[in-house]
Every structure is written in structure tokens, then in C-alpha cells.
Amino acid sequence: MAGAMRLRYVVFVLFDAAGAGLWVSVGVSLGYVFRDAINDVMATLSALGQYGLMLIMAAFAAWIAVKWWRRRMFVKQLRMDRVSVDELRTLMDESKVNAIVDVRSPLMQASTGRIPGARTIDMQKIAESFKGVPVDGEVIVYCACPNEATAVKVAQM
């Protein structure tokens, strides 16, 4: 980002140091403000002995399990059918596609171009933008996001 903005090295280092200082000061300030609550929690855990340690380990294991489950569900969503450029051309030539939906940002569309006949949908107003899109057959959704997450969300609607 700094290179794209042609930011000088010294200015970048100053901004970076200021950001790091703010980040550290927030953590230290929160620790100072909540020091009594932190001491109470530590005293309670100490009084519980090994049960306190097991409680912390159980909470950590539950947190890991929730993260794993969410990741698993996300990967499951991504297992939808994919269409290559050549397959899309073939489907368009054979008129087997009812709609092509473009959910990329306007900036991305301007820089990379559009597929002819694609309908642009604004993700901020997706409910209104989706009106009139025929969904009774093949609908191709494409985006420029990591793991095609936006396309998956739109395709599931």
C-alpha cells in the first residue's frame, strides 16, 4: 500500500511506529483500567486450583471447536460447482445460462472489464438488485474475492 501511494520510507516508518504505539497503548490502558477485575479472576482461578486450569482448558477447547466448525462449514459452502472460462463460453453459445451475475466492485469491473450480458449486482443493495434475475435455471455468479466467498453467498440466495 505504501508503495502504491509512493509514500517515502521515513514517512512510512513514522506512521508504522505511531500505529504500533497506539496498538500497545490500547492494550496497556485496558489492562490498567481492568486490573481489579483481572486480579479477581486470577484469585478465583487460583482458589479453584486444578479445576480452574481445567476450566480454562475447556473454554479454550470450545473456542477451537467453534473455529474449526465454522471453517468446516465455510469450506463446505465453497464446494459448489465451478465454471471455467471455456465452459462459460460454451454454455453461453448453447444458451444454457439463464443469468450471469457480477458481484465484483465497480472499480474491479472498470479495471478488468465485464462479461457481455452479465448483470451487475451491488452487494450493499443485494435484495433490490436481485429482482428480475431469472433463477429457474443455470445462474453463473462471479466475483474477485478470496475463495469466491461472495459468489457462494449470492449463489445460495
Q: What is the Cα–Cα distance from 30 to 37, expressed in whole angstroms?
A: 11
**Model pLDDT for residues 32-54, shown as the tens digit of each residue:** 999 999 999 999 988 998 898 99
**Model pLDDT for residues 117-139, shown as the tens digit of each residue:** 787 777 666 656 566 666 666 77
Q: How far is CA 130 from CA 28, 70, 78, 123, 125, in A?
A: 47, 27, 21, 10, 9
Give the mean model confidence (pLDDT) for residues 151-155. 57
What is the share, in percent, of the chain residues with pLDDT greater than 90?
34
Residue 2 has pLDDT above 80, yes or no: no
